[in-house]
Amino acid sequence: MKVETEFKVLTHDGRFVDAIKLCDGIYYCEIPYLISKEHSIGRMLEMGRKINEEEGEAVIGNGWFENLRKCELVRVKIGFI
């Protein structure tokens, strides 16, 4: 039985982006981070703003927001056999 699942991956200039390092810059990686297919860059930015608001301080730095805006989310399908 084959199962296919759709996700999104964060990319910049056609390469996978290390989502953990976005605060420091755009770093490429070999293995993508899988993100829910329902997410968008706008939704991720809003989630970051909400985290900062709830914490009452800038837990997520401006660099993260600036670098995320330079990226795009691309749909991918992963099949399991």
In sequence order, the 6+-apart residues with CB closer than 8 A to the CB of 79 are 2, 3, 4, 5
Residue with tokens 């939704």: 43
pLDDT at 80: 77
Q: Is the full-model pTM beyond 0.75?
A: yes
pLDDT at 4: 64
| pLDDT digit string, tens, across residues 4-22 | 699 999 999 999 999 999 9
Residue bearing the bigger pLDDT, 3 or 44 = 44
User: pLDDT band at residue 59, thresholds of 50, 70 and 90?
Assistant: confident
